Amino acid sequence: MLEGPTRLGSVLFDTVQAMPGKPAGTLLRLAAFATDPSGGNPAGVWLGDVLPSDEEMLRVAAEVGYSETAFLAPDESEEVGRFRVRYFSPLAEVPFCGHATIASGVAIAERGIERGGDPAAPIELVFVTNGGPVAVTVAPGPDGLPRATLTSVEPWVRDPDPDLLARTLALLDWRSDELDPDLPPAVAFAGAKHLVIAVRTMATLERLAYPFEDLKALMIEYDLTTVQLVWREAPDRFRARDPFPVGGVVEDPATGAAAAALGAYLRARGEITAPASFEIVQGVEMGRPSRLTVSIVAGEAGVRVSGNAVPI
């Protein structure tokens, strides 16, 4: 049962009362990849000593109503800063969620956990996800606000099944000649699978409408988390829109997992070479502008995604 909101530090949270056989925890609400709570992607962050049951996590995620809620508890290693993390949309568990990871890192920083007494010291965390361990670092940004950086699991990039691409384009009502020939479609993974489709013009990206249940069924068939639709505005700047019907929402305003997958895709194609970084602007059409910074580091298999998060 969720009680009324309370404020701890600068993070708004609900105390989740313990019920018989159910662990108690703290539920926080933050907007990730933004410095204004009216922007970014809202995420729930549940912190406790022991994770609830699958049924309870799904119930809480549905009650929160955001695209994802992250559930964190210390993992079995008992190492400081190491957490078992699971992510739930209102409809189902998802293997990885970037914006909820960023929100979780900032939430831990805001609560003064793992700092070792030095408010300026970076916080080094490890989130053990279903897809593997994800390193998270939180440190004050130039504006003094906490900024989290996740490093994804080792990614991969593959050509899409022709059937998947053809059916997706048909559902989007997009023609193949509207796609960017320099950035061919691909399926990319950096914790979750995404179909990456780049278009020639912003006008095509602005024209986003699709039959919800049909695209949802297709994505479930191919085990996709989102469809990452992008337009390259400049060499170091992309605009993005991410349909997310499998999570119960038409569109995601900021998608950290897809951002990492896009970074892996661009690296695999030789479009970027380490060290390199670029920005993704997402959520503008939804009225929730978000900014995600993606970077690759020489000798590092994972892709880094950075952003702010603020309490809602």
Type of residue numbered 130: N
263-295: pLDDT as tens digits: 999 999 999 999 999 999 999 999 999 999 999
**Predicted model pTM:** 0.91
Backbone angles phi, psi at 154, to 5 degrees: -60, 125
pLDDT score of 9? 33
- Provide the mean pLDDT of the chain: 92
pLDDT interval class at 15 (50, 70, 90): very low
Residue 2 has pLDDT above 90, yes or no: no
The closest of 76, 95, 78, 79 to 87, measured between CA atoms, is 95
Separation CA 106–CA 123 (nearest Å) = 10
Residue 14 has pLDDT above 60, yes or no: no
202-226: pLDDT as tens digits: 999 999 999 999 999 999 999 999 9
CB 198 within 8 A of CB 175: no
235-250: pLDDT as tens digits: 999 999 999 999 999 9
Share of the chain above pLDDT 90, in %: 85
pLDDT score of 202? 98
Type of residue numbered 81: G
CB 125 within 8 A of CB 81: yes
- The 3-state DSSP class for residue 276 equals strand
Residue 111 has pLDDT above 50, yes or no: yes
Per the model's pLDDT, the better-predicted residue between 309 and 19 turns out to be 309
Query: In the numeric block, which tokens belong to residue 137?
Result: 């670092």
Separation CA 277–CA 290 (nearest Å) = 17
